[in-house]
Amino acid sequence: MTLRPRTLLPRGFYGRALLILIVPIVTIQLVVSIAFIQRHFERVTLQMTGGIAVELRLVFAEWQAGHEAEARHLAQGLGFTLSEPDQALSGVSREFWDLSGRVVADTLAAELPGFLGADLVGDDGRVLADFRLGDRVLRARIDRKRTSATNPHQLLVLMIVTSALMTVISYLFLRNQIVPIKRLAQAAEAFGKGQHIPYRPRGATEVRAAGAAFLDMRARIERALETRTLMLSGVSHDLRTPLTRLKLGLAMLPEDDDTRALLEDVAEMERLVNEFLAFARGDATEEGEKVDLATLLRRVAENAARSGHSVETHGLDTELAIRVRPQAVTRAVENLLGNARRFGTRARLSLIPGDRMVRIVVEDDGPGIPMERRDEAVQPFARLDGARDPNKGGGVGLGLSITADIARSHGGVLRLGESEDLGGLRAELALAR
**Structural domain total, the chain:** 3
Which CATH number goes with the domain that contains 329? 3.30.565.10
- Among residues 257, 281, 305, the one where a domain terminates is 281
Q: Is residue 166 domain-resident?
A: no
Task: Give pLDDT, residue 361.
Answer: 92
Task: Give pLDDT, residue 151.
Answer: 58
Task: Give pLDDT, residue 403.
Answer: 85
State if pTM tops 0.85: no
Span 277-301, average pLDDT: 75
- Do 294 and 340 sit in the same domain of this protein? yes
- Do 15 and 84 sit in the same domain of this protein? yes
- Do 14 and 146 sit in the same domain of this protein? yes
- What mean pLDDT, rounded, does the chain reach? 80
Beta partners for 259? none
Task: Give pLDDT, residue 273.
Answer: 72
Task: Give pLDDT, residue 336.
Answer: 87
Rounded to whole angstroms, how far apart are CA atoms 344 and 368? 9
Which CATH number goes with the domain that contains 233? 1.10.287.130
- Among residues 223, 254, 281, the one where a domain terminates is 281
Q: Is residue 252 domain-resident?
A: yes
Q: What is the pLDDT of residues 48-83, one digit of tens each?
A: 888 999 999 999 888 888 888 888 888 888 888 888
pLDDT(131) > 90: yes
Which CATH number goes with the domain that contains 43? 3.30.450
Rounded to whole angstroms, how far apart are CA atoms 394 and 188? 38
How would you class 116 by CB atoms within 10 Å of its CB: exposed for 0-12, middle for 13-18, buried for 19 or more? middle
Please report the DSSP string for 242-263 in residue order: HHHHHHHHHHHSPPSHHHHHHH
pLDDT(219) > 70: yes
Q: What is the pLDDT of residues 341-386, one digit of tens each?
A: 888 888 889 998 888 889 999 998 888 888 878 777 777 666 665 4
- Do 236 and 314 sit in the same domain of this protein? no
- Do 34 and 140 sit in the same domain of this protein? yes
- Do 309 and 276 sit in the same domain of this protein? no
- Do 269 and 300 sit in the same domain of this protein? no
Neighbours of 250 (CB within 10 A): 17
- Do 234 and 294 sit in the same domain of this protein? no
Task: Give pLDDT, residue 386.
Answer: 47
- Do 422 and 310 sit in the same domain of this protein? yes
Q: Is residue 194 domain-resident?
A: no
Q: Is residue 250 domain-resident?
A: yes
Rounded to whole angstroms, how far apart are CA atoms 196 and 218? 9
Span 212-233, average pLDDT: 80
Q: Domain containing 396: what range?
A: 289-432
Q: Is residue 233 domain-resident?
A: yes
- Among residues 261, 281, 301, the one where a domain terminates is 281
Please report the DSSP string for 101-160 in residue order: HHHHHHHHHHHSTTEEEEESSSSTTEEEEEEEETTEEEEEEEEGGGTS-S-THHHHHHHH
- Do 15 and 63 sit in the same domain of this protein? yes
Distance between first and last Cα of the chain: 30
Among 60-64, 116-120, 242-246, the least confident range: 242-246
CA 421 to chain centre: 36
Q: Is residue 271 domain-resident?
A: yes
- Do 263 and 299 sit in the same domain of this protein? no
Q: Is residue 177 domain-resident?
A: no
Q: Choose between 120 and 1: higher pLDDT.
A: 120
Rounded to whole angstroms, how far apart are CA atoms 265 and 144? 109
- Do 260 and 339 sit in the same domain of this protein? no
Q: Is residue 126 domain-resident?
A: yes
